[in-house]
A and B are shown apart, each in its own frame.
Chain A
Amino acid sequence: MRGHVIKNSLKLLFGALLLIISLFPVYWLFVMAVQPSENLKTPCLYPAAFTADNFISLFAESGFLQPLKNSVIITLISLLFSLTFGLAAAYILARRRFSNRWKSGLSFYILIIRILPPVAFTIPLYTMFNRTGTLKTLFPMIMACILINLPMIIWFILGFFRQLPEEVEESAMIDGATEWQLYCRIVLPLVLPGIAAVAMLSFMSAWNEYTYSIIFVQSPQKYTIPLALAALNSEDNLTNFGLVSAAGLISMLPAALFVIFAQNYLIAGLSSGAVKD
């Protein structure tokens, strides 16, 4: 009984420590964001005064709303497509019954794409989008995010599909289910936790995409959040840490909301009970 108490309090301590380390830098952003800039020179563990100025000027003067909109559009559209395509591709690659002599070659190719540094793609892609006249739209950015996320989704979900015993599908097939029904009704629900996790990851990388955007984005109307953030940080001026912190906090919000949403989905997937017996 005493051992149990010690174990629990150790656990509590460990959890608290983990949380402090994880959250302190974010808390610090908050402290910097809500204080008037005079206070920032002499740091204190909690805000000495509160102001909303940084947030107001972020939207009123720095026009943060448009980048926010663009980032949401780019992220959601690219997520939709990369998830749909990624899951489909991974399923085909994972199942032995869809035999194909190209398969190992394709797996290898996808891995290569994931490995290649973006540096290797940006310039030729720029010329490609330029020639097709799509450079002034959000299309190149959406495609870039799909390019980043698709290989990751395929590789990630592949592991989940491979873990599912093929017998489940075979028995369903004997019951007369078509491939399509099998995929939608039986296989996908079983990997829901995986889907939720990979959706979170893809959301993050699309939301934070910087390398491609800096080359592809041609007009201020098409700015994304990371670009707007980077523009706030300039070498020749004193950095306005209050403003940067406020922007940093806001840049985190949609992702946090998404995670909370996907978290519930993850729970639903788990409680469907098919995976855990």
Chain B
Amino acid sequence: MVRLTNVGMKFNLGIEKSFSFKELFIKTFSFKKKKKKTEYFWALKNINLDIKKGEVIGFVGSNGAGKSTLLKVVSGVMKPSTGKVEVNGVISPMIELGAGFDVELTARENIFLNGAVLGYSEKFIKEKYQEIVDFSELHDFLEAPIKNFSSGMIARLAFSIATIVNPEILIVDEILSVGDINFQEKSRKKMQEMIDGGTTVLYVSHALDSVRSICTRAVWLEHGEIKMIGDTNEVCEAYYKQEMKN
């Protein structure tokens, strides 16, 4: 379903600094000719991963370990610097909820805009519009611009739009912690439904409990490399131990 072979992702840390005339000026007129040092940062190194249909894979690791970069590479947002990513199936990326919302527009308008961003067809959204509204429970606020919404309401709306499809591959990055308890429960249930329906899930979370409860396999990433892969409980245990030591 998803196969990563030798995937590496290189970022050039020097990029921010280049292209300023100040720098150019200093460089041109300084006596010491310093060789331009490019600093590279490998957000991902040598990732080999084979994800089968129906698997629910959890990614754990500390901040900056490369979890989100990995999801972005899989969803096609970023091209890997080395290696190959093969994806076979329709992806629904929930990397950040509400990416593509326009705060000036109303909830109704945003449902269509965001649906288009996620690649739904016009016909599909029209059919599913009521279902999205029902799931989000935002009936009373459909005509209000979402700049007046609370972050929880925005998350509700975004989650409802993103999960209306039955994607073959679902990419979830740290989003189930949004909304009130009622909605958290509701969204967890919805996700479980999708998993039961055979959706392959790539799940990133810092909440080890939720990783334990839904994932069939876990990957522990550290400094861009896979440190451990295997049974969810073992990986979580090992990761937890190391984190506590530091």
User: Does B associate with A?
Assistant: no
B interface residues with partner A (beta carbon < 8 Å): none
